[in-house]
Amino acid sequence: MTINDEKLLAVFPDPAPIDVARTLDLSGYSWKAVNSSQAIDKLEPTSGWFGAVVDCSQDPESGWAICRTLRRRENRVDRTIVLVTGAQLADLEMRDDLFDDFCLAPIHPRELDSRLRHLFYTEMAASRESLIEYSGLILNTETYQASFGGKPLDLTYMEYELLKFLAQNPGKVFSREVLLSRVWGYEYYGGARTVDVHIRRLRAKLGEEHANLIETVRSVGYRFGQSKWG
């Protein structure tokens, strides 16, 4: 089974380190965790791997073996970042043909994000098209990830869809009936109270300080933010 063409990163190991996974998600990257050369072949998208993030800090032998596989396979994978400890820095020069950049582990999210942006600079403009951003809110329409102020938001599918629709139309007022039809679909038979419940949950998850991003317009419906992007 192949994955649809997309800019997909291979991430070692599987499961991916939590801090690495979170940084990639919040930065808007698509990725798949791999734990072997066989997994690299099996999970490879039809367009080939876009790049790789390989953690060599916990299991150096396996990590560097993955790097060699990525470099020496027929469909060579460039743009590889390795994660290493300070004690491993002295050995990097002997392996410089296996990676393009490195980041110290445990990672600092901003550091990894900065190095990823530098490595994929020419491709980042296109990937930004999948992001909706407003005053600290970031929605990734490809991965269905959401964050506010750099912190992940735990949203249900319909909460995400409602927030996405509102955030794509800042400053516009929508009635409950319009939101029902545009977000839930015409086939949905739930009442307007469904919208109110989801709005209340979204406000709670945004936090008291930012709940007013979704404004109630009396006798009409709801409006997100202001008329211009923040």
Give me the CATH number covering residue 100.
Answer: 3.40.50.2300
Q: Which residue has the tokens 């794509």?
A: 168
pLDDT reported for residue 173: 95
Sheet holding 145-148: strands in order across? 131-134, 137-140, 145-148, 151-152
Task: Return d(Cα 148, Cα 46) in angstroms, integer.
Answer: 33
- pLDDT cut 90: percent of the chain above it: 52
> Confidence class of residue 226 from pLDDT cuts 50, 70 and 90?
low
Q: Is residue 204, in this structure, part of any structural domain at all?
A: yes
pLDDT of 66 above 70: yes
Q: Side chain identity at 68, as an amino acid letter?
A: R
pLDDT reported for residue 128: 59
pLDDT reported for residue 230: 40
Domain shared by 45 and 103, yes or no: yes
pLDDT reported for residue 121: 64
Residue at which a domain ends, from 98, 119, 140: 119
Strand 151-152 to 145-148 pairing: antiparallel
pLDDT of 153 above 60: yes
Task: Return d(Cα 224, Cα 202) in angstroms, integer.
Answer: 12
pLDDT reported for residue 225: 84
Q: Which residue has the tokens 């999948």?
A: 130
Task: Return d(Cα 23, Cα 42) in angstroms, integer.
Answer: 25
Encoding tokens for residue 108? 């600092």
pLDDT reported for residue 129: 63
> Confidence class of residue 188 from pLDDT cuts 50, 70 and 90?
low
Residue at which a domain ends, from 68, 90, 119: 119
Domain shared by 155 and 71, yes or no: no
Q: Which of 56, 79, 75, 58 is nearest to 66 (CA)?
A: 56
- Beta partners for residue 224, in sequence order: 214
> Confidence class of residue 107 from pLDDT cuts 50, 70 and 90?
very high
Domain shared by 139 and 109, yes or no: no
Q: Is residue 229, in this structure, part of any structural domain at all?
A: no
Q: Is residue 148, in this structure, part of any structural domain at all?
A: yes
pLDDT reported for residue 152: 84
Q: Is residue 126, in this structure, part of any structural domain at all?
A: no
CA 83 distance to own-chain centroid: 19
Domain shared by 88 and 154, yes or no: no
Q: Is the Cβ–Cβ distance between 100 and 78 less than 8 Å?
A: yes
- Domain with 187, as residue range(s), is 131-224
Residue at which a domain ends, from 119, 145, 160: 119
Over residues 129-146, the mean pLDDT reads 81
Task: Return d(Cα 52, Cα 100) in angstroms, integer.
Answer: 10
Domain shared by 135 and 115, yes or no: no
What average pLDDT does the structure give for the chain? 86
Number of domains in the chain: 2
Over residues 61-88, the mean pLDDT reads 94
pLDDT reported for residue 46: 87
